[in-house]
Structure 1
Amino acid sequence: MSQAGQMVKHSTIYAIGNISRQLVGFIMLPVYTHYLTPADYGVIGLLIFLVSLFEIVLGGHMFQAVPKFYHQQETKAEKNSVVTTALLVTSFFSLIACLAMATASEQLAAIVFGDKQYSIYIVIFAALILTHALEQYGLTYLRIIKKPWTYFNFSMVKLALQLGLNILTIVILDWGLMGLALSSLISSVIIAITLCSYTVYKTGAKFNQEIARNVLRFSWPLWISGLIGLYIGSSNRYFIRIFSSLDDVGLFELAAKFGSIVSILIWLPFSQYWQTERFAIAKTEDPYPAYSLAFRLIAGLLLIAGIGISIFVDLVVSVMSAPEFHSAAGAVPFLVIAGIFQCLTIFNNFSFMYQDRTLEVTKNNTATAIVVTVFYFILIPSLGFIGASIAFAGASAFQYIYALHSGNRIYPLKINQRPIAIAFFVFFSAVLLDKTILGEIDFSFYTLAFKVGIVATSSAATIAILANKTEIAFIANTLKSRISNRR
């Protein structure tokens, strides 16, 4: 259980850091929905999609390659050269992407929004391509050298910056959408410069051509796969605008914010530990118990958190947002399911990473993109943003099954899938029971007690399904020991 203990400890610290960095969007949600319209929220969603598109096409990101090649090097100097080489290459490509997006701002505004007046926002968000790259490399380096508390400190600083700037520009100065754009840019610039300076100070600025070639060779299929993955997960905003309305884009964006909580709170901190450790575990004599433990641990946490969010989201949205945003809650359970399947797909993609078969990830994403496009054309015209969320969930399930099947032929992780299938059935049953029995939103004692009961019962069932006998005994003995000590 020492592996699980370290996993939980580091992941918890990363979780707190990630929560703080993402917390602004939720703390400011009542303010955003008061000062911004659903259409404004839709504009933000499409701007984020544009930034992500240019980041992937021209950004040259190598985040997944850095831990792999870092652990392959023998000396500290060689390890440091992996970090700085990847940082320099990505900075060059990200600058090109930033300039390209800013230069084409008017044309992009006309295509994406149908109105050139949004070009100034495209220019502002274009700068985030470079600052995000610098920021992410700094955070990746902190994870590799296992500095979770330093990671946490940087996250808290960014939280303070974003909150302060959002309150200043949106509430006090009443700049609306422009205030949100400027506050995002300023906070990202400050953190990016600080993190980049810290990384270069620790590693030096040595560029290694051989490492650059190896990393690029490893990463190029992932760039293509990332582009396709962006299409799968974010093109729905554009389809919704074409087949429905900009208001529906805003409702979907709000639903996606709640749907992403599972990934942010559970998967992201876990992956920041797992991405750097899985290659080291693979070198051990028998890595399969560790693979199984990690998979069941993260799957259980994702499902339990997903159940809680799906059951209580209608109440939370009704409290935190204006009435015109309340219907967004209907899409959240589908987006939660999509997020869980995507996270578990990334876990299984290790089979391809370890065997240097990253092109298989691209093949998977290509097949999924075809499936999701068909779903979008069928469901969005009739069901709007709800149809988009259903399409995304269905395509994500297909993607997971594809990755599992392909990975087992290349490097099987030997993880029993039957418990996870049963656990998903528990998830669906819990959400269906809640939506069927409870009608309109209310905060009565009966409603709250019923929801708590569903979450508690389904969570206990999920733990019992996914944990083996030894782990259940360990959990029971630990709880018993703590209760005895308190007495």
Structure 2
Amino acid sequence: MLQYIKTAFKNSLVYGLGNISTKLIGFVLLPVYTSHLSVHEYGILAILEVSSQVIIGVFGLSLTYPFFRWYYDKEYIEKRRTMMFTCMITLALVCSILIFVAIILRRQISIILFGLDKYEILVVLLTLSASLQIIASIPSALMQLQQKSLLFSFSNIVQLLASLIITIFLVVWLNMNVIGIYIAQTIGGAVYLLILGRYIFKNIDFKFDIVLLRGMLAVSLPLVVSSFFNILIIVADRYVLRYLGHFADVGIYSLGFKIANTIYVFVVMSINLALTPIIYKIMDEPNNRRIYSKMMTYTGFIVMLCAIGVSLFGMELIKLLARNPEYWSAYKVVPFVALGIFLWMLRDISAIGLNISKKTKIVSMIVIIVSIFNLVVNAILISIFQVMGASYAFLLSQFVFLILTYLFSQKYYFVQYELGKILMMSICGVMIIFVSSLFNEYSIYIRLLMKVTMLVVFPVLLYLLNFFEPIELERIRGAWQKWRKPKNWVAEIKLFLK
């Protein structure tokens, strides 16, 4: 079990580097965005970003799911290269139709999204950028399956640099604002595919298998509906804020959400990228359920620690990244979204049973129920609490999502998760976040000192509550002995990556 955990952790670090590189641009450029975009314009950018998620979720046809699921299936080992080609051609055709429709209906779509028709060019750029991401999803999935973590990281880092340089040039020097941002994203997506061109051609046979595609679509299409509603759970708050409030409200909430969402982007997604192949690879091994249980405990600890850190220093981060005081109230959103992401991660792990037992209809049912609940709760809470209402709705919806997923997953594929430890770390985390919020009115020096202290208190408190097992404490001590001397870091890293 420890070998699987070590492999997952190692791949998480390398995948994390690549995954961070693709998402880091939005974080690194926050000072540029907040200094060159008004809160209103940042709200427009936020609507574009969530619309991109909807497009990718729906028109990606969820083909990466059967691609992952069938790659290790003995029946399809000889058809892997054909599967790759068939998936990419199908998505390229879908995206071509999507772009054509977007060009024809750009005025109408602009009015629906923004209330004005002057953003037609943004509609087209949004569609182009999303289409490139859809097509790239298949080679990205293949790199994960083949554990080509270094190639994954390299290609994403180059994409980051291309997008970063072009964005700064277009936004800072040419004052193209939101249009410049999406031109840069589109070019970055094209660069990513060009870099992977040789890798793609090495892993495809130029053979389109319609029978294979039908089988994959039979599995994936039911997931498209659930994918749409799943994304709606995440983005509905921005749309409801747009229609019940103003673009400025969307901008403030989106900044707070983006700060908290760094946990999901930089940590949870990296862990998922590493764990997903392992989850399916060990699903027939005798001790797999024990490993799944530990996956939830360990990832839960990591994500809760990150949630505490981001919540504690959310105010300082936002003031550092956004010099415009109009953005500063966004820090209030951060703790609720961060805790929601912790619940989101627990739900991802608890869904292992439903995925292994192929209960896609159950997954779809849960997602649809939660998305409707989320939409209703957002409408109610936003109308009462405005921006903060959206953060309350996000946390509440993620809690309901977790409970439903856990109950149904356990019914079809029971795993003895360490619920006592999960509850323990949850209560401790919430208490620390609440107590730390009381220091926000103090001077920055006292505030930072107290918050750093509270962050250290979390693992210490868990230790006092006997959260860690003896073998885990032994491993922690061993790791400390290895890594406490900086002069040994190079040798240890080389040994770790072997």
Task: Give TM class, smaller chain.
Answer: over 0.9
After TM superposition, give the deviation of residue 480 of structure 1 in Å.
Answer: 4.0
Q: Which runs of structure 2 are paired with 1:352-431 in the superposition (5 Å)? A: 352-431=354-433
Matched, 1:69 2:70: yes
Determine the C-alpha separation between the residues in 2 that align with 1:243 and 1:109: 18
1:272 match: 273
**Equivalent position amino acid for 2:63 in 1:** M
2:447 corresponding residue in structure 1: 447
Equivalent residue runs for 1:298-337 within 5 Å? 298-321=299-322, 322-337=324-339
Q: Structure 2 vs 1, CA of residues 485 and 309 (structure 1 numbering), >3 Å: closer, same or farther?
A: closer
CA deviations over 1:163-203 (Å, ceiling 9, x no partner): 11011101112211221121111111221243255213333
Alpha carbons of structure 1 residues 376 and 171: separation in structure 2 relative to 1, 3 Å:
same
Q: Secondary structure at the match of 2:64?
A: coil
Change (3 A) 1:183 1:480: closer
Structure 2 counterpart of 1:29: 30
Quick one: structure 1 residues 486 and 160, their matched pair in 2 at CA, closer, same or farther if it must change by over 3 Å?
Answer: closer
Aligned partners of 1:375 and 1:391 also within 8 Å? yes
Cα distance in 2 for partners of 1:165, 1:482 equals 39
Deviation, structure 1 residue 225: 0.7
Equivalence map 1:129-140=2 (5 Å):
129-140=130-141
Distance 1:483 1:258, change over 3 A: closer
* SS of structure 1 residue aligned to 2:258: helix
Separation of aligned partners in 2, 1:132 and 1:465: 45
* More displaced 10-residue stretch of structure 1: 178-187 or 50-59: 50-59
Provide the C-alpha distance between the structure 2 equivalents of 1:105 and 1:417, rounded to a whole number of angstroms: 50
- How big is the shift at 1:76? 5.1
Superposition map of 1:154-165 within 5 A:
154-165=155-166
Q: Could you tell me which residue of structure 2 aligns to residue 281 of structure 1? A: 282
Q: C-alpha displacement at 1:29, in angstroms?
A: 1.1
Normalised to the residue count of structure 1, the TM-score between the two structures is: 0.95
Q: Which letter maps to 1:91? A: A
- Structure 1 residues 80 and 462 mapped into 2: Cα distance closer, same or farther (>3 Å)? farther
Report the alpha carbon displacement of residue 372 of structure 1 after superposing the two structures with TM: 1.3
Could you say if the C-alpha distance between residues 271 and 110 of structure 1 is closer, same or farther in structure 2, counting changes exceeding 3 Å? same
Higher mean C-alpha deviation, range 310-319 or range 375-384? 375-384
The count of aligned residue pairs is 485
Can you list the C-alpha shifts for 1:436-458, whole angstroms capped at 9, x where unaligned? 24325x421x2211110111111
User: Structure 1 unaligned runs (5+)?
Assistant: none
Assess if the C-alpha contact under 8 Å between 1:317 and 1:329 holds in 2: yes
* Structure 2 CA distance for aligned equivalents of residues 237 and 453 of structure 1: 34
Please say if residues 70 and 76 of structure 2, whose CA atoms lie closer than 8 Å, have aligned partners that are also in contact. Answer: no
2:54 aligned residue = 53
* Aligned-partner Cα distance in 2 for 1:98–1:467: 53
Shift of 1:318: 0.7
Give distance in 2, aligned partners of 1:288 and 1:483: 33
Q: Which residue in 2 is equivalent to 1:175?
A: 176
Contact 1:59 1:129 in 2 (8 A): no
Looking at structure 2, the residues matched to 409 and 458 of structure 1 have their Cα atoms a distance apart, in angstroms, of 33
1:86 equivalenced with 2:66 (yes/no): no
Name the residue aligned to 1:38.
39
Which is worse superposed, 400-409 or 57-66?
57-66
Farther off after superposition, 367-376 or 75-84:
75-84
CA contact (8 A) 2:62 2:223 kept: no
Letter in 1 for 2:260: G
| RMSD over aligned Cα atoms | 2.0
What SS does the aligned partner of 1:116 have? Answer: coil
Letter in 1 for 2:429: F
Range that drifts further, 5-14 or 23-32: 23-32
**CA distance in structure 2 between the partners assigned to 1:451 and 1:46 by the alignment:** 33
Shift of 1:299: 1.0
Q: 1:485 and 1:258 mapped to 2: Cα distance?
A: 30
Same amino acid, percent of matched pairs: 20
Unaligned runs of 5+ in 2: 489-498
Q: Map of 1:140-159 to 2, 5 A cutoff?
A: 140-159=141-160
- The farther-off stretch of 300-309 and 412-421 is 412-421
1:95 aligned partner: 96
Cα separation, 2, equivalents of 1:94 and 1:358: 25
- 1:73/1:79 contact within 8 Å kept: no
What does residue 291 of structure 2 align with?
A: 290
CA distance 1:75–1:106, change in 2 (3 Å): closer
* Cα distance in 1, alignment partners of residues 33 and 346 from structure 2: 32
Q: What amino acid is aligned across from residue 248 of structure 1 in structure 2? A: D
Q: Which amino acid aligns with 1:453?
A: T
Secondary structure of the equivalent of 1:16?
Answer: helix
Could you tell me how far 1:67 is from its partner in structure 2? 1.4
1:107–1:486 CA distance, 2 compared to 1 (3 A): closer
Taking the aligned partners of 2:485 and 2:34, their CA distance within structure 1 comes to 48
Given that 2:311 and 2:338 are in contact with CA atoms closer than 8 Å, whether structure 1 keeps it comes out as yes
Per-residue deviation, residues 140-160 of structure 1 (Å, max 9, x unmatched):
111111111111111110121
Distance 1:478 1:383, change over 3 A: same
Q: Residues of 1 paired with 2:237 and 2:230: CA distance?
A: 12
Cα distance in 1 between the residues matched to 2:137 and 2:169? 26
Could you tell which deviates more after superposition, 69-78 or 447-456? 69-78
Distance 1:485 1:320 in 2: 30
CA deviations 1:222-248 (Å, max 9, x no partner) are 111111112111021111011111100
From the superposition, tell whether residues 134 and 484 of structure 1 become closer, same or farther in structure 2 (CA, over 3 Å). Answer: closer
In 2, the alpha carbon distance for the partners of 1:166 and 1:242 equals: 29
d(CA) in 1 for partners of 2:164, 2:256 = 22
Question: How has the CA–CA distance of structure 1 residues 343 and 211 changed in structure 2, closer, same or farther, with 3 Å as cutoff?
Answer: farther
Following superposition, the deviation at residue 309 of structure 1 comes to 0.5
Structure 2: how far apart are the matches of 1:264 and 1:370? Answer: 25
Deviation at 1:391, TM superposition (A): 0.4
Instruction: Please say which of residues 377-386 and 471-480 is displaced more in the overlay.
Output: 471-480
